[in-house]
A and B are shown apart, each in its own frame.
Chain A
Amino acid sequence: MIAAEKVGLPSGQQSYLPSADAMARRRRRRYLADSAAKWMVRAGGGGVVVALALIFVYLFSEVAPLLRGASVEQAGQFQAPGYAGSERSLLALERYDTLAMRHSSDGRLTYFTLEDGGLVEELRLDVPEGVTVDSIAIGEPRSRRVAYGLSDGTAIVVDHETRLEFSDGERSVVPAPAFPLGRAPVRVDDQGQPLEALAVQKTRDGDTGMAARTADGRLVFVRFRTTTSFLTGETEIERRGWVLPQPPGEVRELQLTANLWSLIGVDDAGTLLYWDISDPASAVLRDQAGAVEEGERVTELKMLNGTFSMIVGTSHGNLSQWFLVRDERAAAGDNIFRLTRVRDFDRHPGAITRIQPEYTRKGFAVVDDAGGLGLHYGTSARTLYLEQVSDTPLRSVGISPVDDVVIAEDDSGRILRFDVWNQHPEVSLKALWGKVWYEGRQDPDYVWQASSGADSFEPKYSMIPLTVGTLKAALFAMLFAMPLAIAGAIYTAYFMAPKLRGYVKPTIEVMEALPTVILGFLAGLWLAPFLENHIPAVFTVLIGLPLSFLAIAWAFSRLPQSVRASVPPGWEAIALLPVIALVVWALVSLSPLIEIWLFEGSMRQWFTDIGITYDQRNALVVGIAMGFAVIPTIFSIAEDAVFTVPRHLTQGSLALGATSWQTVTRVVLLTASPGIFSAVMIGFGRAVGETMIVLMATGNSPVVNFNIFEGMRTLSANIAVELPETAVNSTHFRILFLAGLVLFAITFLVNTIAEVVRQRLRDRYSSL
């Protein structure tokens, strides 16, 4: 054969094998391919691992900005245009950060560029000859309303509005000052006394309210309503005025709420005063409270956005937040509020000279006479920034409506401009995990309420209700699943007939793949109404089923040996199937009768009567549905752990005369307990992160309790509900990412522990 083939060889070639040269080439190519493959697999595989790690890194990078404070950078300084010498001033900015507004106590409103302080427009108010401006007041920042109190008992109200103009596609912001009550001064004090302290506020329906303390110490309140006639387009101004009860001391500062129901003042002794002026004709001084220590004065009082909270600044640089809290004492009567000091902020080095609240949040900027600038936030009690930015005392501060620019003016008319990054002041460890006293509440509490329609809404980001909800759901699920799954696992692994085991195990395991949306839908639409209609059955089944098992076991042990032999060992569970079906059916049918006998026909009503809230979609429903979802997980791992206990251990125990139950409890369970533990941990991890079941089977109300008949809101369901509707990169968005990160961390930790325990168990088995 070989010889025959050799004949066919082309001349000069020794064999069919490639030449040594070709072989070397081919070998080189193969080795090249080999190492190329090596690098490709390394790059690809390593890349996948890195990509998975990226999840954690990315989630963290989204959350990280929450932890940052504010950063403030000085971006320029210039002399205030038209600075006359020693006048007091008020600063404001507009939304595009191109123009700034300055009101000065010599009766001028100037608009200037934020870039270099170049004058854009100067507006001289119609202050009559011989009359001076004695006070300037600013309303809620959003209203842009400022009032000048004059020495003849009148006031001029001006809105420092701006307008957008477009020309050639270029946007420019131009001044558009407005006089809602007319250019001429309006009368505030009927007796024409100088207005030494003034407050102004614009209500939601456009009215203007002003309160003033006159030079002779009286307190007056006026309310202007502007109506525009539809027919003629003429504006009519209706004025109503009242004299309020005499203040005990000399009032320095005044503030009005936006609904014009409350007037807050502070006198020269540092006492806060609260007048209820909801009916101005019968206004009363409701409450007073000392805000300072001995020798300290209140130098500034401002309302935060929403005009619910007051910030009090003192001559020692102290800052505190106050608001009106409903008096709960029975003697107080209805709707009586008290001044309450809610929280304090970091102390400034000098006397507070000006507080300027933010436009849409509960934060405020503060300057003091030691040249310090501070950014603080109400809800979270955070001081985000506090530094000395000037050698000279600062007198006035303005903040941008979008919170990214702050300007401050010192006592020589120099304006400092700062660029600010202050995106997430609402968040602090305490705000997320501690009790916070929110505006309008009786006491500090854990609340999750991330959004609402109102502009002045205070977002409440307490993670406690969500965490408690998550734990509550997981707890009830584990209470339901653990006994069933572990009992089932021990029985299947140790007692069940092997042939049966081959069917039972896959049957339960395949349920692990059942989509949870189906469990959730059954729980919400079928189980929840069913349980609500059969509440007594829940309790009777809980007691009745184990009792019936015992009864059957007892009856079985009394049976003659011949009958007993007909049920082979390891088939008990199958024998119990019809029993369970029968018992449950009987107890459910009995349920309405029990309700009639014991609970006057409605157990739900009975619960309400004894003070237990009952929601249709409650923790019980979730417990059962989610328990059902984790049973296969726990069962499968625990069964493996029990089944793989080395045979010689159990056989040794049995040989020493132990019964099989003794062997199970003393030998098998002890050996397999780490495995069962790890099964429970993995089940718990699954219950913590489960979304669809809780979303569908509870009312998703963020309550903080462990009542089994009430719902809950979990971290995961909360993400599913709220994340699609939040603004990208807002605080809310990042807090939801934080919730995701927390879930990720918890489950990762739990699973890792379980995995390590399982590995060690495996090592132990192999050494036994």
Chain B
Amino acid sequence: MRQWFKSGDPWIWMIGGGLAISLIMVVGLLMLIAVRGFGHFWPAPIMATSVTTAEGESDSILGIMVRSETLPAQRVRESGQDIPADQTLVTRHLIKVGNRDLTGRDFVWYLDSALGELRYPDDALRIERREWGNFYGFAVALERAGEIAVRGEGLWSEMQQAIDRANELHQRIQTLERVEIGRINSAMEKLRLERKALELQGISGAELAAAEADFAARQAELDRRFEDIQAERRELMDQSERDVLIAETASGREVRIQLNNIVMASRNNAMGLFGKIGFYGHRIGDFLSGYPREANTEGGIFPAIFGTVTMVLIMSVLVTPFGVLAAIYLREYARQGVILKLIRVSVYNLAGVPSIVFGVFGLGFFVYLLGGTIDDLFYPERLPAPTFGTPGLFWASLTLALLTLPVVIVSTEEGLARIPRTIREGSLALGATKWETLWKVVVPLSAPAMMTGLILAVARAAGEVAPLMLVGVVKLAPSLPVDGEFPYVHLERKIMHLGFHIYDVGFQSPNVEAARPLVYATALTLVLLILILNLSAIAIRNRLREKYRAEGD
């Protein structure tokens, strides 16, 4: 035995074990996110069963099994559930029963021993609503304009059509509200600012009167258009309120659900495999292209994806030229020596400075100092409401550009250093100036390295949250940063961000249990985005290495 220890073999196994643990954690983490994230959209079977309470009363429930756990009975007692004294180990299930408007809680723990036989009725219905979360129950009848239209046979297909119609109307109302009314609002705001700007310029007399008259006319025109749109919106609203679904919960309580409150209805248990796959794709599409609802705990994440992408794009536009310029300066133009070495080490080290420090700098310097100055100079009519003197898209991008600058510089420098001497000397020998050599030979050759740097920077920026909390990301932005209004890209607007969305929904939301699947799905989206970016950076770098290994030799 001692001999065996002396040989060192056990230690090799031990450090191998260390690596294996790391590997399992990495793979396990990715799998956890993937399984939970993808699983969220799958139409889970709806189970029906009976529950016997401690007092012996029986009730039937309908819902979806979320997870199960086995715990010492004592621990469950601590959490307030009543367990008979003779039990030491209990298994319990978390079941999503929905119907928050009726019972107040949509997730309930049930003891395994209290549950009766599990059944999966084909006609069990899952309805995703715009308010109050999901409804689980059975459809009874469809009411149209106050009268029962369909009951029993044919109800399901009729209901689907009615839901499609209601959704279409809802879509049109949304468009009216988002686009048309938004346009009028911004026109009114513009009018108000113009008026205030005139005041600030100190215009008076006839000129002022003329301007006032003009303003009044434009205001009246806007008011009239607003009235028109309102009327149209009311008309659509009335139409969408035509149908009502009468449904029944598992315990037999009758419920009326307005069809314009339904996002989609499904009979999960009755679906075939292809039906499920179609439904799955449909929900993923909704998730990626939809707007959040119910304090971000339901609906889609489109604004967050859009915000992240816009911010990262603007950041790329800012960081690339400066990063490349700095790298060329450091590698090609600056006098090599101790000072440059110091500068280089410092710049590299900035990549290791905590991101929150950049956030602090961004808030203090960009937002308050630069932004405040810009407001004073260019937007005096909007004061005291700040325009650029408050966190926003541009400052978020600028802060991230600063944060990722070292990444681009390091990567570009590496690329420049990799260009074989022979190529440069060849160019110089042909009589090219230094700049011509750089611009026509060295920079194009090292472009893939710059690309790598940029992709790494984008990957880092997309996942960064801490500094953004300070400089421009909010939980719910009223409008997207890019729209049809001049100047199309609104640099001063606040944005939503995938990473911050995860933090906010996971930790600031009132209904964590309901938000949990959504957070996993959002996390999965973000992880995929970043993995793809990183893998492409690695691929580019590897191809680059191969290429120069061949050319350099």
A118 within 8 A of partner (CB):
no
Question: What is the interface size of chain B, counting residues whose CB is below 8 A from a CB of the partner?
Answer: 105
A663 closest partner in B (C-beta): B8
**Judging by beta carbons under 8 Å apart, are B8 and A628 in contact?**
no
Docked pose: A554 CA to B12 CA in angstroms: 12
Docked pose: A484 CA to B354 CA in angstroms: 23
Residue from B78, B334, B346 whose CB has the most chain A CB atoms within 10 Å: B346
Interface of chain B residues 370 through 409 with chain A (CB within 8 A): 402, 405-406, 409
16 sampled A-B residue pairs with Cβ under 8 A: A42-B333, A44-B326, A45-B326, A52-B350, A55-B358, A485-B22, A515-B499, A518-B499, A524-B506, A524-B507, A546-B14, A601-B73, A601-B74, A661-B11, A695-B466, A719-B360
A659 within 8 A of partner (CB):
yes
B4-34 CB contact bits vs A (8 Å, 1 = yes)?
A: 1001111111111111111111110100110
Complex A-B, nearest 10 residue pairs according to Cβ-Cβ distance, in ascending order: A45-B329, A661-B8, A689-B354, A601-B74, A515-B463, A487-B18, A488-B19, A691-B466, A553-B13, A487-B15
A545 within 8 A of partner (CB):
yes
Q: Which of A233-241, A258-266, A426-434, A736-744 contacts B (4 or more CB under 8 A)?
A: A736-744
B322 within 8 A of partner (CB):
yes
Interface of chain A residues 581 through 621 with chain B (CB within 8 A): 581, 589, 592-593, 595-596, 600-602, 604-605
B83-95 CB contact bits vs A (8 Å, 1 = yes)?
A: 0000011000000
The one of A518, A526, A724 in contact with B502, judged by C-beta atoms closer than 8 angstroms, is A518
A673-713 CB contact bits vs B (8 Å, 1 = yes)?
A: 00000000010011011111001100000000000000000
Give the distance to chain A from B446, nearest Cβ to Cβ, in Å: 15
Docked pose: A483 CA to B470 CA in angstroms: 35
Chain A interface (Cβ < 8 Å from any Cβ of B):
30-31, 33-34, 37-38, 41-42, 44-46, 48-49, 51-55, 58-59, 62, 483-488, 490-492, 495-496, 504, 506-508, 510-511, 513-522, 524-526, 533, 545-546, 549-550, 552-554, 556-557, 572-574, 576-577, 580-581, 589, 592-593, 595-596, 600-602, 604-605, 628, 631, 635, 659-662, 664-665, 682, 685-686, 688-692, 695-696, 716, 719-720, 723-724, 728, 736-737, 740, 743-744, 747-748, 750-752, 755-756
**Judging by beta carbons under 8 Å apart, are B503 and A692 in contact?**
yes
Give the distance to chain A from B500, nearest Cβ to Cβ, in Å: 8
Docked pose: A662 CA to B22 CA in angstroms: 24
B residues less than 8 Å from A556 (CB atoms): 13
Chain B interface (Cβ < 8 Å from any Cβ of A):
4, 7-27, 29, 32-33, 69-75, 78, 88-89, 322-323, 325-330, 332-334, 343, 345-350, 352-361, 363-365, 368, 402, 405-406, 409, 433-436, 438-439, 456, 459-460, 462-466, 469-470, 499-500, 502-503, 506-507, 512, 516, 519, 523, 526-527, 530-531, 533-535, 538
A residues less than 8 Å from B523 (CB atoms): 518, 521-522
**Judging by beta carbons under 8 Å apart, are B360 and A689 in contact?**
no
B residues less than 8 Å from A596 (CB atoms): 72, 74, 88-89
**Judging by beta carbons under 8 Å apart, are B72 and A55 in contact?**
no
A residues less than 8 Å from B10 (CB atoms): 549-550, 553-554
The one of B14, B18, B503 in contact with A517, judged by C-beta atoms closer than 8 angstroms, is B503
**Judging by beta carbons under 8 Å apart, are B23 and A508 in contact?**
yes
Instruction: Known contacts A45-B333, A577-B24; decide if A517 and B463 are in contact (CB<8 Å).
Output: yes
B362 closest partner in A (C-beta): A55
4 additional contacts, CB 8 Å, given A46-B329, A55-B358, A580-B20?
A34-B435, A37-B438, A515-B527, A631-B22
A residues less than 8 Å from B322 (CB atoms): 44, 48
A residues less than 8 Å from B535 (CB atoms): 510
Instruction: Known contacts A41-B332, A491-B15, A747-B353; decide if A737 and B435 are in contact (CB<8 Å).
Output: no
A35 closest partner in B (C-beta): B435
Instruction: Known contacts A592-B71, A595-B72, A723-B363; decide if A49 and B326 are in contact (CB<8 Å).
Output: yes
**Judging by beta carbons under 8 Å apart, are A514 and B527 in contact?**
yes
Docked pose: A572 CA to B16 CA in angstroms: 6
Instruction: Known contacts A576-B17, A692-B465; decide if A49 and B356 are in contact (CB<8 Å).
Output: no
The one of B21, B329, B470, B531 in contact with A41, judged by C-beta atoms closer than 8 angstroms, is B329
The one of B16, B19, B365, B456 in contact with A58, judged by C-beta atoms closer than 8 angstroms, is B365
A689 closest partner in B (C-beta): B354
A495 closest partner in B (C-beta): B12
**Judging by beta carbons under 8 Å apart, are B13 and A550 in contact?**
yes
Docked pose: A398 CA to B489 CA in angstroms: 54
A residues less than 8 Å from B78 (CB atoms): 602, 604-605
**Judging by beta carbons under 8 Å apart, are B18 and A508 in contact?**
no
Give the distance to chain B from A563, nearest Cβ to Cβ, in Å: 15
**Judging by beta carbons under 8 Å apart, are B329 and A491 in contact?**
no
Docked pose: A516 CA to B14 CA in angstroms: 29
The one of A42, A515, A601, A628 in contact with B329, judged by C-beta atoms closer than 8 angstroms, is A42
**Judging by beta carbons under 8 Å apart, are B526 and A518 in contact?**
yes
Docked pose: A385 CA to B527 CA in angstroms: 57
